[in-house]
Structure 1
Amino acid sequence: MTYHGVLRKMETEFAKPVQYYLVFENDFINFNQLLNKTIQIEFVKHECLNCHLDKPIYRQGFCKSCFFDIPQAADWIMKPELSTAHLDQEDRDLEYEKKVQLKPHIVYLANSSNVKVGVTRKTQVPTRWIDQGAHEAIEIVEVPNRYLAGITEVALKDHVADKTNWRKMLKNDVDDENLVTWREKLKAFIPEEALDFYIETNTETEIEFPVLRYPIKPKSLNIEKQQRYQGVLKGIKGQYLIFEDDTVFNIRSNEGIVVNISVI
């Protein structure tokens, strides 16, 4: 059977283990059902997630012209502290920015390769943690807008990591941490504007991924360069497919690429 479509990040269902779905326009794949099966991935072309033209993908699934034009790729997406909708100030599209920025946001700790701090909209919990391959996570504050979450993250970055080591995460070379203790330790560094939103009592969320075998030396698949790849699927973690030969394929970083995926 062959599936055809443009790659977007896998949709997930929080279960034990997490269920992974790659959704195309007219079909979808539940990758959990394909564990231990041989899969072939073939590059077809590019398709910008915004203009849908066959143009080279620049970042985040968008061609270069769209990336520097649309509000979905503005700087405040990656740097929430740059959000200005709460001041009624437009960056690229104030209506869109209000829709996204003026919603409850969570500052959290997640443990994937190490303990890191991050920001997400409340509606994206626990999806965001799953996408990062975190096996445990906890909320620190719940604030009413993206700006407050952003300045809190910036303040905490001086005391805890804000990046994930993807190789370490995929090898499952991680230790369990007491995130409640981490949360309590970091409270002292939360900005005054956000301190009233600190979450006093909560527990860790634990996440189980569908992995039969973790890679020893993960090597990233560049499907655009290689054009075609075939391997036995051994697991899914974060937004990565993990294959028997230690090849890993990051669906998220290949958004905007049209592929054929065949089950051999």
Structure 2
Amino acid sequence: MQYKGVLKKMNTENLDTVQYYLDMQTDFINVNQLLHKTIAIKFETYECLSCGLEKEIYRQGFCKSCFFETPNAGDWIMRPELSKAHLGEADRDLEYEKKVQLQPHIVYLANSSNVKVGVTRKTQVPTRWIDQGAHEAIEIVEVPNRYLAGITEVALKEHVADKTNWRKMLKNDIEDEDLTKWQERLRAFIPEEVQEYFIENNKETTINFPVDKYPEKPKSLNILKEGSYSGKLVGVKGQYFIFEDNTVFNVRANEGLVVSITVLD
């Protein structure tokens, strides 16, 4: 069986075990059903996620011109503290920025390779945590816009990490943490104008990933360089395929690439 389409971030569903879905345009694959099967991935061409043209991907699934023009790739996406929609100021497209920035946002703690602080729209909980491969997470602040979440993250990352070590995450080299204690420990460092949005008496969310075997020494697959790869799928975590030979493939990092996926057995 063969599927072909442009890679986009996998959709997820947080059930007893996370369910992963890959939208291949004409097909919708439940990736969990590919576990224990040998699959082949082959690079075919490019397709920008913004303009849809066959142009080399620059970053985040966009061709170079779209990356510097589309509002979906503004600096405030990666740096929420740069959000300006609450001031009525445009970055690239004020109407789009109002729609995204002026809605409830969550500042959270997640444990994927270590405890880290992060920001996401409330509607993206727990999707954001799944994408980062976190096996436990907790909401610590809920604010009405992206800017307030951003300045909170900036303040807290002086006292806790804001990055995930992808190798540790994939190896499952993780210690359980009491995130409620972390939340209380960090409370004093939340900016004064955000203190009223602190979430009292919250509980952790736990996440179970469909992984049979974690890689001892993860090797990242560069499908552009290799052209094609085949291996037995033994797990999915974060946005990574995990193969039996320790090869891992980051689906999200390869957004905008058109690939064929063939189930060999």
Measured against the shorter chain, the TM-score band is over 0.9
Letter in structure 1 aligned against 2:247? T
Question: Percent sequence identity over matched residues?
Answer: 73
Amino acid at match of 1:262: T
Equivalent residue for 2:156? 156
Aligned-partner Cα distance in 1 for 2:26–2:201: 44
Counterpart residue number, 2:167: 167
Question: Could you say which residue in structure 2 is the equivalent of 1:10?
Answer: 10
Q: 1:218 matched to which residue of 2?
A: 218
Equivalent residue of 2:167, what SS? helix
> Which residue is equivalent to 1:55?
55
Q: Distance in 2 between matches of 1:9 and 1:80?
A: 21
Match of 1:234 in 2: 234
The aligned counterpart of 2:109 is 109
Q: Deviation per CA, 1:206-250: give whole Å up to 9, x if none.
A: 000000000000000000110110000000000000000000000
Q: What's the CA shift for 1:114?
A: 0.1
Q: How many residues get paired?
A: 264
Structure 1 position 74 matched with structure 2 position 74: yes
2:244 is matched with 244
Provide the C-alpha distance between the structure 2 equivalents of 1:16 and 1:233, rounded to a whole number of angstroms: 20
Q: CA deviation at 1:31?
A: 1.0
Separation of aligned partners in 2, 1:124 and 1:205: 14
- Looking at structure 1, the residues matched to 251 and 151 of structure 2 have their Cα atoms a distance apart, in angstroms, of 30
Secondary structure (helix, strand or coil) at the match of 1:258 reads strand
Q: Which residue of 2 aligns with 1:123?
A: 123
- RMSD over aligned CA atoms reads 0.4
1:52 deviates by 1.1
Structure 2 residue identity aligned to 1:90? A
Q: Alpha-carbon deviation of 1:16?
A: 1.4
Amino acid at match of 1:74: G
Cα deviation for residue 65 of structure 1 reads: 0.5
1:195 partnered with 2:195 = yes
* Distance of 2:239 and 2:116 partners within structure 1: 18
Q: Is structure 2 residue 262 aligned with structure 1 residue 262?
A: yes
Instruction: Flag structure 2 segments of 5+ consecutive residues without an equivalent.
Output: none
Secondary structure of 1:196 counterpart: helix
* Regions of 4+ moved over 3 Å: none
User: Aligned runs of 1:16-55 on 2, under 5 Å?
Assistant: 16-55=16-55
Q: Distance in 1 between matches of 2:226 and 2:28?
A: 24
Where 2:224 maps in the other structure, the secondary structure is helix
CA distance in 2, matches of 1:195, 1:229: 50
Task: Write the distance in 2 (CA, Å) between the matches of 1:93 and 1:31.
Answer: 35
Aligned equivalents of 2:214, 2:3: Cα separation in 1: 26
What TM-score results when the alignment is normalised by the length of structure 2? 0.99
What CA distance in whole angstroms lies between the structure 2 residues aligned with 1:54 and 1:181? 49
Unaligned runs of 5+ in 1: none
